[in-house]
Structure 1
Amino acid sequence: MITINTVTVIGANGSMGAAVAGIFASFGNVKVYMVSRTINKSLEGIEKAIKSVRADSIRGHLIPKTFDDLAQCIVESDWIFESVAEDYTVKESVNSTISRHRKPGTIVSTGTSGLSIERLKESFDMEGQSLYFVTHFFNPPYSLPLCELIPSNQSDKEITYLLKDYLEKVLFRKVVVLKDAPAFLANRVGFQFMNEALQFAELYQDRGGIDYIDAILGPFTGRGMPPLVTVDFIGLDVYKAITDNLYNNTSDCYNESFQLPDYMNTLICEKKLGRKCGQGLYKLERDSTGKKHIYVYDIQSDSYRSQIQYSFYFVEKMVAAIKESKYDEAIKILINNDSEEARICRYFLQKYITYSVLVADEIAGSIHDADTVMAYGFNWVPPLALLQLFGGKEVVIDHMSKDSRLTSFIEPFSNINIQKSNMDFRRYLRAKF
Structure 2
Amino acid sequence: MVNKNLKNYLTDKDNKFSNIDFSTNLPLPIQTNEKITVTVLGANGTMGRNVAAIFASFGQCIVYMVCRSQEKANTAKEQAIQSVKAESIKNNLITGTYDQIESYIRHSNIVFESVSEDFKVKQDIYNMIRPYLKKDAIIATGTSGLSIRKLSDELGQYKNRFFGIHMFNPPYNLTLCELVVHSEEQKELAVQLKRYLKDKLNRTVVEVKDEPSFLGNRIGFFFIGEAMRLADKYQDQGGIDYIDSVLGCFTGRNMSPLVTADFVGLDVTKSIIDYIYDNVHDEYRNSFLSPEYLDHLVAENKLGHKVNRGFYYKDRDRKLMFVYDIKQKNYRLVNKYQFYFSNEMIKLLRNGQYEKAIELLINDESQEAILCKQMLLIYIVYSLKISSEVSSDIASCDDAMATGFSWIPPIALIELFGGKRTTRNLVNRYLDEKYQSIVNNEEFYDNVPEHSKYDFRSFLKAKY
TM-score range (shorter-chain normalised) is: over 0.9
Alignment pair present for 1:184 and 2:210 = no
The C-alpha deviation readout for 1:99-124, integer Å capped at 9, x for no partner, is 22211000000000000111001011
Give the whole-Å Cα distance in 2 for the aligned partners of 1:221 and 1:93: 44
State the TM-score, normalized to the length of structure 1: 0.97
| Partner in structure 2 of residue 212 of structure 1 | 242
**Superimposed CA distance per residue, residues 304-357 of structure 1 (whole angstroms, 9 cap, x where no aligned partner):** 111111100000111111111111111111111111000100010000000000
Uncovered stretches (5+) of structure 1, i.e. residues with no partner: none
Match of 2:96 in 1: 65
Q: Provide, for residues 228-250 of structure 1, a one-character-per-residue CA deviation record: whole Å limited to 9, x for no partner.
A: 00000001111111110111111
TM alignment of 1:222-241, pairs within 5 A:
222-241=252-271
Secondary structure of the corresponding residue to residue 459 of structure 2: coil
Match of 1:144 among 157, 163, 174: 174
Q: Kindly indicate whether residue 202 of structure 2 is the aligned counterpart of residue 172 of structure 1.
A: yes
Q: Structure 2 residue aligned with 1:30, among 35, 46, 61?
A: 61
Deviations 1:383-403 (A, max 9, x none): 001011112222222222223
The match for 1:193 among 214, 223, 234 is 223
- Of 38, 41, 52, the match for 1:10: 41
Read off the aligned partner of 2:136 and give its amino acid letter: G
Q: Output the TM-score relative to the length of structure 2.
A: 0.90
Aligned to 2:427: 400
Q: Which runs of 4+ in 1 moved over 6 A?
A: none
- The one-letter code sitting in structure 2 at the alignment partner of 1:408 is K
Distance of 1:356 and 1:401 partners within structure 2: 17
For 1:113 and 1:269, the matched residues in 2 are separated by: 22
Matched letter for residue 103 of structure 1:
K
Q: Distance in 2 between matches of 1:205 and 1:155?
A: 51
| Structure 2 partner of 1:412 | 438
Give the structure 1 partner of residue 377 of structure 2: 350
Instruction: Report how many residues are paired.
Output: 428
Distance 1:149 1:100 in 2: 25
Indicate the residue corresponding to 1:122 in structure 2: 153
Which amino acid in structure 1 is aligned with residue 438 of structure 2? Answer: P
| 2:100 paired with 1:74 | no
Answering whether residue 283 of structure 2 is matched by residue 284 of structure 1, we say: no
Cα offset, 1:191, TM superposition: 0.1
Residue identity opposite 2:258 in structure 1 = L
Q: How far did 1:28 drift?
A: 0.9
For residue 350 of structure 1, what is the amino acid of its counterpart? Answer: L
Contact 1:8 1:81 in 2 (8 A): yes
- DSSP-derived class of the 1:266 partner: helix
1:384 to 384, 387, 411: 411
3-state SS of the aligned residue for 1:265?
A: helix
1:295 matched to 2:322:
yes
Partner of 1:243: 273
Mapped to 2, the partners of 1:377 and 1:369 lie a distance apart of: 11
State the match for 2:390 in structure 1: 363
Tell me how far 1:155 sits from its aligned partner.
4.7
Counterpart in 2 of 1:423? 454
Amino acid at match of 1:96: N
* Deviation sequence 1:181-201 (CA, Å, 0-9, x none): 100000000000001101111
Q: Could you tell me which of 263, 274, 291 is aligned with 2:293? A: 263
Identity between Structure 1 and Structure 2 (%): 45
